[in-house]
Structure 1
Amino acid sequence: MTELTYSAIIAAAKLGFRALGQSITMSGLENLPRRGGALVALNHVSYVDFIYGGLPVVRIGRRPRFMAKRELFDHRITGPIMRACRHIEVDRADGESSLAVALDYLRRGEIVGIFPEATISRAMEIKQLKTGAARIAHAAGVPLVPVVVWGTQRMMTKDHPRDFSRGKAITITLGPPVPLTGEARPDTAALKAALSELLDGAIRSYPQHLPGAWWVPASHGGSAPTLEESVRLDAAERAARRAGHRPT
């Protein structure tokens, strides 16, 4: 029943892509293993990244299991879906337990998706990464595949209204597995470098690039916050959350 539910969701998503008239381009599929475990590490610019970031795995006939925040599992609508698809609940207060679950999935030959930035990048660039991706990939002995999604931020991201108008281009780029040494910090730095290089290429080749746009990084001529500014905005958001309200 679980895989039937997953298949139905994939079919519905594909209908949605067609209804939105989206042009979805994927490259680097040869970097995904056809069998055995793998950890795909994705950049994070949108609330819908996991939908598009999972498409390469689906394209090769497999099913990704994403690590996702606990709130999605607690929600009355998304919760049953997340559990039916066997995604992995991440409790920010107990992150190590979710890493253990991911490790078990990988050792059993699953493909697991992770967002090592942990939260959406307001800068639209690669933020500081958590070390969990490098640690569990090395512990499981599986490839760590960097994946960059671009264009999804135009639909649904932080600080901007939703826009599901037709015709948006989405690009998904996979790089070769990141060599791992077992040293968490150097391996995480290598992953960040790989993601940054993929992202730079995705932005430069994006068919609907618009200089000055809010969804383009400042480093590429856009008006998105810089990485330094985004750090301050993220801190303000966390402070507002602790105070019990959202920032205006």
Structure 2
Amino acid sequence: MAELVYPPVIGAAKTLFKAWDLKIDCKGSENIPRSGGAVLVSNHISYLDFIFDGLAALPQKRLVRFMAKESVFRHKISGPLMRGMKHIPVDRKQGEAAYAHALASLRSGEIIGVFPEATISQSFTLKTFKSGAARLAQEAGVPLIPMALWGTQRLWTKGHPRNFKRSHLPITIRVGEPVEAPKDQYAGAITRRLRERCQELLEAAQRAYPVRPKGPDDTWWMPAHLGGTAPTPAEVKAAEAG
């Protein structure tokens, strides 16, 4: 079936990136398979992460179908675009339909994008990974492709205003080698291995990031363990519980 929506959206995104003068450093795209199914797994620190994850797949001429919360598909603007790009709506109260949809897509040779933390990490550190990505890869017989993004939180993230000005922001993207998901292994063990790999890629992206906070008012986007003023995971958990 012809892709009528995805290519124009990609073109619009590239135009915006140029207008914002983003400095995108992407390495490891060759680890994304040129054909066949795969589950692309990324950390989640920004509302725009799916765009940059998808960008990493373009050198391999692949379009990623992302699993996203169902409310995005009900929005009058984003809804038609999400459906046109064949992304997969997820109703968290009834996840079976989304799982079956993703599994069928994988078996037909698609790449499915998953954020196993489920929500944006306000501490900008890795949260606990849910096992759905590993179970999908196991059942479909496809590899998991770990990824990490850094810098996207400076554009638009939870609890902070959007920065859509011509800001020259660096965005660092790292794609790792495939993580196999054998059917005879426990999904939890595969998930732990996957999270460890994403953590390694995240640390590599942070080391490669070319700028540091400019002053006391610019430390919000750095995690506490790196000297920033983002809340710690414990603080985020306490705030959510309260």
Q: What is the aligned residue count? A: 236
Report how far residue 4 of structure 1 moved. Answer: 2.2
Residue 186 of structure 2 is aligned to residue 183 of structure 1: yes
- The answer for the alignment partner of 2:96 in structure 1 is 96
Map 1:174-213 onto structure 2 (within 5 A).
Answer: 174-181=175-182, 182-210=185-213, 213=219
Map 1:56-135 onto structure 2 (within 5 A).
Answer: 56-135=56-135
- The answer for the alignment partner of 2:145 in structure 1 is 145
Helix, strand or coil: the match of 1:3? coil
Q: 2: CA distance between counterparts of 1:153 and 1:35?
A: 31
The alignment-based identity, stated in percent, is: 49
Q: 2: CA distance between counterparts of 1:2 and 1:229?
A: 47
Report how far residue 59 of structure 1 moved. Answer: 2.3
- The runs of 5 or more residues in structure 1 that have no matched partner are 237-248
Whichever residue aligns with residue 134 of structure 2, its letter is A
Q: 1: CA distance between counterparts of 2:179 and 2:194?
A: 6
Whichever residue aligns with residue 177 of structure 1, its letter is P
The answer to whether the 8 Å contact 2:30/2:60 transfers is: no
Change (3 A) 1:143 1:32: same
TM-score by length of 2: 0.94
Q: 1: CA distance between counterparts of 2:14 and 2:208?
A: 24
- The runs of 5 or more residues in structure 2 that have no matched partner are none
Report how far residue 229 of structure 1 moved. Answer: 1.2
Q: 2: CA distance between counterparts of 1:127 and 1:38?
A: 22
- The answer for the alignment partner of 2:170 in structure 1 is 169
Residue 49 of structure 2 is aligned to residue 49 of structure 1: yes
Question: Deviation string for 1:93-150 (max 9, x for gaps)?
Answer: 1112211111110000001100000000011010011110111011111110011111
Helix, strand or coil: the match of 1:4? coil
Q: 2: CA distance between counterparts of 1:93 and 1:214?
A: 33
Deviates further, 50-59 or 77-86: 50-59
The answer to whether the 8 Å contact 1:203/1:209 transfers is: no
The answer to whether the 8 Å contact 2:172/2:208 transfers is: no
- The answer for the alignment partner of 2:14 in structure 1 is 14
Helix, strand or coil: the match of 2:25? strand
Residue 233 of structure 2 is aligned to residue 215 of structure 1: no
Helix, strand or coil: the match of 2:201? helix
Q: Which runs of 4+ in 1 moved over 6 A?
A: none
Q: 1: CA distance between counterparts of 2:192 and 2:20?
A: 37
TM-score by length of 1: 0.91
Whichever residue aligns with residue 89 of structure 1, its letter is P
